[in-house]
Structure 1
């Protein structure tokens, strides 16, 4: 979940379900998409509110290139940040762009509720339609295998982000980041004792807290939901969930935890960029957001990225990402235009050398430069990922040598998808428990998790 997300990956709120959708068509002159003779205008998700001007400039330049390639299509960009709690109302009110982004956790629900358009015909016409990583594409497919959303960006695994300067200041080797949770705890305490800066921070606001608690449980071999035959069962009482919560209590007892229970996705990024703490977990692609939204450069943050510790049997890393979708009442012409934009903005740079270089060149030549080369999991194949990275090697400006702890294992570390039923709602049940243990390490976790498990099962049963 990223919320979003993100992404991520935006991360707040519980999805309000509704069967309403409002995308303009030729029959609805009040909408955002209009046809003018043979010319069509569509609105598309742009950057998050508050993005750096250089990121906006880079997007504007790509829009100009798109409109030169497709003179019959006008693109209007719109600031956009996914919020599950407001999506249905925004869709009903016609305030969403025609092409918008959703986290992987919500694609299936939106498909089932008729809240995104069937774009199967348009996607199947793309030259690389058969080359998608099937495990990644699966989240955007309906039960009968039609394409409703495509993986677009920030396909990530949760990883550990760390401030290399604080490691150095505390006498730790930044080139040897922690590989176990015990080592994370020890490093956090060493950093706090030596520098006075908290060694670790945890997202705990709204669903972001449940998202990251789930990632921590996965990394210890636990699950928050399992499929038993044809039935999904809530497993919030899994020992790994409790162990992950106790870890936060231990950090608090050590005095090394940032004592802020109100950090969401954007908040924790801002705090990290400002050097307010040394380590946190989030999607492996966060460096791009740090540059885009927080003004991070190689000069003002000595950034490090390493794999999330995997301890115990069945351990793995929670994966997710952002998918591009089209508003449900789009006409065939609007869907054609929308998929052309999705191809151009999100995907062609991964499979076409000229597009890859054009995109990287624009980003790298901004002042200050935008991130080029941030590690992500492959939307297509590992081989294609490595090929496309080679195309843009002259423009890569992210500190890949400081990300080796992640990139060395990113294709071998097991990636586990988010729970299939009542995902966001279950995150909503978990984050208050995260906040509780961060406030009082002696809280009765067994009782809290048992009650949350009962509620989660009811939500799973309701979801069907």
Structure 2
């Protein structure tokens, strides 16, 4: 165990990279999206001019991003400087916002004419930004289809709506099992063979406690209902929101009360009651579970986007007796949903300005630049071409933990089930409430799932009532 006096330092170091997407206050339940004015041509022949063409003059391009301030944000600033030094036609300016919630608030409070040219934001932004009728798809820009052709199928699917890739993935992540490899070894478990199923995870969690290695095994927090419903559905290849997980823009609804989900709720209750897990409730910073693994527990399910920061702290010798281990997301199958962020291009009805923004996107997502970014941050390469870059191959050889997320996503298809549901409104609070109902109130799983379905469907209906016509 790490001495407890280190915990303040550890949470400070890790939370330098926190995104407010994991905080209750950061994710609004409902929100209206500003609609752009329609354009009606009085021409007798309907001709749609291109919205993205190669620039002929000088342009200034602005980016707003949600990249964490530590490794990712620091390196991104260096890349912006590098882009500006590489040419003289386009001046790139960037601004950092503290997570998806802050990004959404800023966009809602800003007139459309003052929006940036590029928004780097999470998968949750897809429905809102495309509904605003304000994004330009990669396929509309020169060589856009070719630039997107090599993406991993599930990564492309995550940012696809209405059959069209809506943004270029950038900082890709997924959920993985993070653990203290030293404690697994001390408990007689093999850290090179971490648990991959729910039952195996419960058994390992229980073994750590029973053998006196750790006070607790698994750390459980309020996101777990989300994990065991949505992540496990993707592993099974089943749809969560009908029809088609909302990927075609149609009206959707959910029914969480299924046999699989009732079993998942029972597992969640049992792992806390008898499986050695500790229930910590909400996560204000999104990193409390990692701190608990360092202090008094062994396992947590957490985003791969934190691995780079943990390895950096570990490499400085500031986590004595702790060794990071990483395994695939435990569940009924293989895989996990795509998280992280992507580059959305905003339409300012200025085709050459859009073309300049596209040149920025292409430069930042060129394979060697992406490899540099992924090596420094621990993000997952979005394509096999980036994964083959020598810098990334060398980093994976030194730290195999960084490759687990890539292997997990590479094993998945590009189906709507693998891509996950595209809701529009945030229904995360519904899942938080469901976790509390199961673990605090010991609610009947079926009744709790019915209540969650009703709440989610009401949010979907409210969002649809405000939604502009697509």
| 8 A Cα contact 1:13 1:85, kept in partner | no
CA distance in 1, matches of 2:351, 2:198: 51
1:452 alignment counterpart: 452
Structure 2 SS opposite 1:334:
helix
Question: Is contact 1:219–1:317 with CA below 8 Å preserved after alignment?
Answer: yes
- Structure 1 residue 111: deviation in Å? 0.8
Deviation string, structure 1 residues 192-228 (Cα, Å, up to 9, x no partner): 34234321123416xx863564224544676532428
**Partner of 1:27 in structure 2?**
none
Contact 2:437 2:448 in 1 (8 A): no
Q: CA deviation at 1:343?
A: 1.8
**Residue matched to 1:153:** 171
Match of 1:124 among 143, 150, 165: 143
SS in 1 for 2:301: strand
Q: 1:199 to 1:413 in 2, by over 3 A?
A: farther
- Alpha-carbon spacing, 1:8–1:429, altered in 2? closer, same or farther (3 Å): closer
State the Cα distance separating 1:71 from its structure 2 match: 1.7
Seen in structure 2, the aligned counterparts of structure 1 residues 84 and 417 have a Cα distance that, compared at 3 Å, is: farther
Structure 1's 6 and 92: CA in aligned 2 closer, same or farther, altered over 3 A? same
Q: How many residues align?
A: 416
Give the match's secondary structure for 1:339: helix
CA contact (8 A) 1:202 1:263 kept: no
Structure 2 match to 1:201: 219
- In the alignment, the residues of structure 2 paired with residue 197 and residue 86 of structure 1 have an alpha-carbon distance, to the nearest angstrom, of 39
Deviation at 1:437, TM superposition (A): 2.0
CA distance, structure 2, for counterparts of residue 184 and residue 444 of structure 1: 23
State the 1:169 CA deviation: 3.2
The equivalent residue for 2:13 is none
Aligned to 1:240: 260
Match of 2:96 among 79, 85, 89: 79
Residue 67 of structure 1 and its aligned partner are, at CA, apart by 0.7
CA contact (8 A) 2:169 2:382 kept: yes
* Cα contact 1:45–1:77 (8 A) shared by 2: yes
Runs of 5+ in structure 2 lacking a partner?
1-16, 38-55, 465-470
The answer as to whether partners of 1:220 and 1:240 remain within 8 angstroms in 2 is no
Q: Gaps (5+ residues) in structure 1?
A: 23-36, 365-369
**2:299 counterpart residue number:** 279
1: CA distance, partners of 2:118 / 2:185: 44
- 8 A Cα contact 2:256 2:450, kept in partner: yes
Q: Could you tell me whether the CA contact under 8 Å between 1:218 and 1:317 is conserved in 2?
A: yes
Q: 1:170 aligns with which of 155, 174, 187?
A: 187
CA distance in 2, matches of 1:68, 1:405: 35
State the distance in 2 between where 1:403 and 1:62 align: 22
Distance (whole Å) between structure 2 residues aligned to residue 405 and residue 282 of structure 1: 13
Pair 1:15–1:337, CA change in 2 (3 A): farther
In the alignment, is residue 16 of structure 1 matched against residue 31 of structure 2? yes
The answer (yes or no) to whether the contact 1:21–1:92 under 8 Å persists in 2 is no
- Return the alpha-carbon distance in structure 2 between the equivalents of residues 139 and 407 of structure 1: 15
SS in 2 for 1:188: helix
- The normalised TM-score by structure 2 is 0.73
CA distance in 2 between counterparts of 1:178 and 1:333 reads: 52
- The separation in 2 between residues aligned to 1:221 and 1:332, in whole angstroms, is 40
Seen in structure 2, the aligned counterparts of structure 1 residues 407 and 323 have a Cα distance that, compared at 3 Å, is closer
* Structure-2 change in CA distance of 1:285 and 1:60 (3 Å): closer
Secondary structure, aligned partner of 1:261: coil
Structure having the larger proportion of residues in helix: 2
Cα RMSD over matched residues? 4.1
Displacement after TM superposition at 1:324 (Å)? 0.8
Q: Matched residue of 2:308: which SS?
A: helix
| Counterparts in 2 of 1:387 and 1:434: CA distance versus 1, 3 Å | same
Q: Distance in 1 between matches of 2:187 and 2:424?
A: 39
- Partner residue in 2 for 1:438: 439
Superposed counterparts of 1:27-106, under 5 Å: 39-46=58-65, 48=67, 51-52=69-70, 56-84=73-101, 87=104, 89-93=106-110, 97-106=116-125
Match in the other structure for 1:302 = 323
Shift of 1:134: 5.8
Determine whether 1:412 maps to 2:411. Answer: yes
Structure 1 126/221 Cα, relative in aligned 2: closer, same or farther at 3 Å? closer
Distance 2:448 2:265 in 1: 11
Of the two structures, which has the highest relative contact order with CA contacts closer than 8 Å and spacing of 6 or more?
A: 2
